[in-house]
Amino acid sequence: MLPSAAVGTLELKSLMESIRHIVRRVNGHYLQASAEKVLFSEKLIKVRCKNTNKEFYVPYDKLVIAVGSTSNTHGVKGLQFSNQLKTAEDAIEIRRKIVHNIEQACLPTTTDEERKKLLSFVVCGAGPTGVEVAAEIFDLLNEDLPRHFPRILRQEISIHIIQSRSHILNTYDKTISE
Ligand SMILES: Cc1cc2nc3c(=O)[nH]c(=O)nc-3n(C[C@H](O)[C@H](O)[C@H](O)COP(=O)(O)OP(=O)(O)OC[C@H]3O[C@@H](n4cnc5c(N)ncnc54)[C@H](O)[C@@H]3O)c2cc1C
């Protein structure tokens, strides 16, 4: 649902739930802080509070490590400076940038060349997230926006997906990828 949130077809509040609601149902305990070190022999986690930078220790009987993963740029230089789509904040940032570009493209001071640049979107990687986000941007720019931004012409918009392998969605069944 993040690709939909990135273009605004879905509000973030409809795809997020407060962790406190979930934790309360199981009589759990939530701490918003960063785990920094596991002291296996003492069965303790060293935790740091981001805002205050203060440390404390949390004891455990059983430990589950589930810190997720970071985006992989697959060695493509410069990709780390582009927008990623992994968190709600990323979706907000992409949405903000798309709206900013569209507003800029409509200004009478924007040249044809600048407008083309502002309305050109490139997605690296044709996995499910890349394909979904490209499709969402396409729908937004081709179906929804022309009604509200008549100055923008469809032929000025371009959306590209860059994919290293022979076909898109290559982790899926061939019929889906076709
Ligand atoms: C755009 C997008 C679309 C997706 N769509 C689907 C889909 O349709 N279906 C599907 O099955 N999967 C989908 N996925 C994949 C799915 O979201 C992930 O596989 C799943 O979220 C992984 O869960 P996780 O708990 O391992 O990690 P995460 O969800 O990444 O959770 C890890 C958590 O640990 C926290 N953390 C990290 N380090 C620390 C630390 N040191 N101390 C404390 N906390 C820490 C992070 O802040 C984060 O909250 C999608 C992913 C993306 C990015």
Query: 91: burial class by Cβ within 10 Å (0-12, 13-18, 19+)?
Result: buried
> What tens digit of pLDDT does each residue of 74-104 get?
889 999 899 999 999 999 999 999 999 999 9
CA distance 22 to 82: 33
Q: Hey, what are 3's tokens? A: 């690709």
Give the per-residue SS3 of 58-109: EECCCCCCCCCCCCCCCCCCCHHHCCCCCCHHHHHHHHHHHHHHHHHHHCCC
Given a cut of 80, whether residue 146 has pLDDT beyond it is no
- Other Cβ atoms closer than 10 A to 131: 19
Q: Delimit the domains of the chain by residue range.
A: 71-177
* Average pLDDT, rounded, for the chain: 91
pLDDT digits (tens, 9 = 90+) for 6-35: 988 888 888 888 999 999 999 999 999 999
**Helix, strand, or coil (residue 45):** strand
pTM here? Answer: 0.85
Q: State which of 45, 67, 90, 137 you would mutate to test the pocket of ligand 1, scoring each by most atoms of that ligand within 8 A of its C-beta.
A: 67
Among 8-22, 54-68, 118-132, which stretch is predicted with the lowest mean pLDDT? 8-22
What ligand 1 atom has the least distance to the C-alpha of 35? 42
Q: What torsion do the CA atoms of 172, 91, 79, 65 make, to the nearest 10 degrees? A: -70
What pLDDT score does 4 carry? 92
Residues with CB under 6 A from ligand 1: 2, 34-35, 66-68, 85-86, 129
Residue 153 has pLDDT above 80, yes or no: no
